[in-house]
Amino acid sequence: MDILYKGFSTHNYVLSGGSFSVTNVDLVNLDILSHIFTEKNERVMLPGWGTDIPNAPFEPLTSELIQNIRDDIERVINYDPRVELLTLTIAPYYDSNAIIASVTLQYIELNVSDALEFVLKLESGSI
Mean residue pLDDT of the chain comes to 83
Strands (E), 1-127: 6-8, 21-23, 83-93, 98-107, 112-121
Average pLDDT of the segment spanning 63-86? 95
Domains identified in the chain and CATH numbers: 6-121 (3.10.450.40)
Query: Helix, strand or coil for residue 3?
Result: coil
State how far the Cα of 61 lies from the Cα of 122, in Å rounded to an integer. Answer: 8
Selection from 78, 66, 41, 64 nearest residue 120 by Cα: 66
pLDDT at residue 91 tops 60: yes
The tens digit of pLDDT for each residue in 27-37 reads 888 889 889 99
Sequence-distant (≥ 6) Cβ neighbours of residue 82 within 8 angstroms: 5, 28, 107, 108, 109
The tens digit of pLDDT for each residue in 2-52 reads 766 556 555 664 455 655 666 567 788 888 988 999 999 888 888 888 999
